[in-house]
Amino acid sequence: MDIESIAAKLSRGERIDAAEAKLLWEEAPLWLLARLATEAKVRKSGNAVYYNKNFHLEPTNICLFECRFCSYRRRKGEVGAWDYSMEEILAQVEARKDSGATEIHIVGGVHPEHDIYYYAEMISRIKAIMPEVCVKAFTAVELHYMIRKAGLSIEEGLRLLKEAGMESIPGGGAEIFDEKIRAEICPGKCSSAEWLEMHEKAHRLGFDSNATMLYGHIESIDHRIDHLLRLRELQDRTGGFNAFIPLKFRSANNGLEALGETSVVDDMRTLAMSRLILDNVLHIKAYWVMYGKATAELALSFGADDIDGTIEDSTKIYSMAGAADAQPRLTIAEIEKMCAAAGYKAVERDTHYNEI
Ligand code: V47
Ligand code: SF4
């Protein structure tokens, strides 16, 4: 096994195993990863780079977990905590109902008192205001907690939310699947097996979803490869993942601050290797709110074919962890310019990647 033969295999569209991925990840020159990832991207999405018009709702940052990488969570009553009422959330939707958004992404802390019936009501009242919008809501971690708390089976809980109008599940909460690393960075949170089970059951009930990986903290390349292979294995069985999103650990204001942040070169290698290992996932998202605009543009030469949303990315997860823009905004003209500079065409999509 050498780099040249692995590269030839990838160019023929063949799958690589863990050992081949490790050699490539650790030793291939950067230009080769860019070339191979670009070939794989073009096979899947031609000259398109996707974006969508969405906005975020973050009902609360009160959370009963204490993930060490999180800059966002607060205890009830602590300075910086928020917990919007139902009426306040609906007012946020009302204010943006004519914005042209096709997606609302709802995510937040795991609040000990808000239950699944409260969130089902929230979704159905949002849909009454914006009937056409796609609600992409709750990480597997939030879902796992609210469904178990209600004493429901996973299927019963997911069906309840589906009937309320939820269509898709975001990719958060995956972190790193390796059990030892997971126990170090986010003890007590739903396990890797439970995260994967939630997505598998959701796919079987007709939801589609995304998957993420939090990298650049205490994990090794082997842990990243293991994470990607567990996703590839599930995708082989269900085909329900739309996109994979590598999430770069941002170090400000959290329990892992002393680690600092990984390099942009590591970001590019991680994007390219995600594209090459996940041969059965159509889209790789370079989430510009986390990378910043310049790095997101660079990512388009390393296999990414999606840059997520526009309109107003009101998420506070990244600004509170030190990402560059406190009020992130990207106009459509900027997106078009960014994609053209990378040699691609910006294409608007909905949550399910139908072109608009
Ligand atoms: O699970 C928290 C991550 C995730 C930090 O599905 C951090 O379209 C870096 O999953 N540094 C939530 N990352 C956000 C998320 C997401 C974002 C955009 C699009 C989609 C999608 C999903 O944020 C958490 C965690 O992995 N996170 N703190 C931090 N300091
Ligand atoms: Fe809570 Fe999510 Fe932060 Fe973990 S990452 S502490 S689950 S808000």
**What pLDDT is attached to residue 311?**
62
56 within a domain of the structure (yes/no): yes
pLDDT of residue 322: 75
Ligand 1 atom 18: residue of nearest CA: 287
In a domain, 16, yes or no: no
Q: Share the mean pLDDT of the chain.
A: 95
Ligand with minimal distance to 108 CA: 2
Q: How confident is the model at residue 95 (pLDDT cuts 50, 70, 90)?
A: very high
**Which stretch of DSSP H or E encloses residue 353?**
none
pLDDT for res 316: 75
pLDDT in tens, 125-139: 999 999 999 999 999
DSSP for 100-151, please give it.
---EEEE-----SS--HHHHHHHHHHHHHHSTT-EEEE--HHHHHHHHHHTT
d(CA 143, CA 52): 24
Residue 326 pLDDT: 54
pLDDT at 319: 75
DSSP codes of every residue in 192-204: HHHHHHHHHHHHH
**Predicted confidence (pLDDT) per residue in 276-331, tens digit:** 999 999 999 999 888 988 999 999 999 999 998 876 656 677 777 777 565 567 88
Q: How many domains does the chain have?
A: 1
CA 82 to mean position of chain CA atoms: 23
The CATH number of the domain holding residue 307 is 3.20.20.70
Residue 290 alpha carbon, nearest atom of ligand 1: 9
Q: Is residue 3 part of a domain?
A: no
Atom of ligand 2 at shortest range from CA of 108: 8
Q: Which residues of 71-82 are buried (b: 16+ CB within 10 A; e: fewer)?
A: bbbbeeeeeeee
What pLDDT sits at residue 85? 96
pLDDT at 205 over 90: yes
For position 147, what pLDDT does the model report? 97
Max distance between CA atoms of the chain, in angstroms, equals 60
Ligand 1 atom index nearest CA of 320: 30
For ligand 1, atom 14, name the residue with the nearest CA: 172
Residue nearest atom 17 of ligand 1, based on CA coordinates: 172
Q: Is residue 12 part of a domain?
A: no
Look at residue 315 in the predicted model and tell me its pLDDT.
67
259 has pLDDT over 70: yes
**Residue 21 belongs to some domain of the structure:** no
- Let me know the angle formed at the C-alpha of 104 by 124 and 316, rounded to the nearest 5 degrees: 120
**Do 143 and 123 form a contact (C-beta atoms < 8 A)?**
no
Question: What's the token pair of residue 112?
Answer: 């000990």
pLDDT, mean of residues 52-70: 95
Q: For residue 4, is it within any domain?
A: no
Neighbours of 14 (CB within 10 A): 11
pLDDT of residue 10: 97
Average of per-residue pLDDT across 82-108: 95
Task: Give the range of the structural domain holding residue 217, as residue numbers without chain letter.
Answer: 48-348
- Which ligand neighbours the alpha carbon of 107 most closely? 1
In this predicted structure, what is the pLDDT of residue 149?
A: 96
Question: Which pLDDT score, from 0 to 100, does residue 330 have?
Answer: 81
With 90 as the cut, is the pLDDT of residue 233 above it?
yes
CA 176–ligand 1 middle distance (angstroms): 12
DSSP 189: S
**pLDDT of residue 24 exceeding 70:** yes
Is the pLDDT assigned to residue 227 strictly greater than 90? yes
Give nearest CA residue, ligand 2 atom 2: 109
Q: Is residue 25 part of a domain?
A: no
Q: Is residue 34 part of a domain?
A: no
Best mutation site among 50, 207, 247, 262 for ligand 1, i.e. most ligand atoms within 8 A of its Cβ?
247
User: How far apart are alpha carbons 134 and 132 in whole angstroms?
Assistant: 7
Pairing of strands 48-57, 283-284: unpaired
